[in-house]
Amino acid sequence: MPDLFAYTDGACSGNPGPGGWGALLIARDGETVLKERELFGGEPETTNNRMELLAAINALETLDKPSTITVVTDSAYVKDGITKWVHGWKRNGWTKKGGLKNAELWQRLDAAAARHRVTWEWVKGHAGHPENERADELARRGMAPFKPGGVGHDPAQVIG
């Protein structure tokens, strides 16, 4: 059975501002890449944290059947949120003192992750990790139509 990975990233020009998310899904047998899929999209007015969340959400939601997958993110916000903080938020009715930002996205990520056996890994961003750099490029592609002078727009473009 091949190993499945999702490399995810978000980008924002200004925070808030135009933003994009990207996900690179790779099925590997050892070092051999069996299949790749690129996903990206964006929004005209958003935050980097929202884009990081949407990258992981879209990666998991695009899988047709329950899978064992490693999600690799450069966002400590996403990794810590889904592996540590989410349990308390759920216990408290998806709230926290001072308000829970992006509650609807955290609920969506929690539901998407529940369908799968997910291992979450963090990598340092912009540190030369090839797949993370590709996810960053996809996020920037998703953001491009929303930046001044951007051309064309498909809010959730999927490249198969």
Spatial CB neighbours of 55, under 8 Å, sequence gap ≥ 6: 8, 9, 10, 21, 22, 23, 73, 135, 139
Is 128 a residue of the active site?
no
Is 126 a residue of the active site?
yes
Active-site residue (options: 29, 45, 104, 126):
126
Active-site residue (options: 20, 22, 74, 142):
74
Active-site residue (options: 10, 20, 42, 142):
10
Active-site residue (options: 41, 52, 81, 142):
52
Calculate the alpha carbon distances from 100 to 44, 48, 81, 103, 106 in Å. Answer: 22, 16, 11, 6, 9
CB 64 within 8 A of CB 95: no
Is 9 a residue of the active site?
yes
Active-site residue (options: 9, 19, 20, 142):
9
**Taken in order 113, 81, 141, 133, is the CA torsion positive or negative?**
negative
* Amino acid of residue 95: T
Is 3 a residue of the active site?
no
Active-site residue (options: 19, 41, 43, 136):
136
CB 53 within 8 A of CB 60: no
- For residue 16, whether the previous peptide bond is cis, meaning omega lies within 30 degrees of 0, is yes
Show which residues are catalytic: 9-10, 52, 74, 126, 136
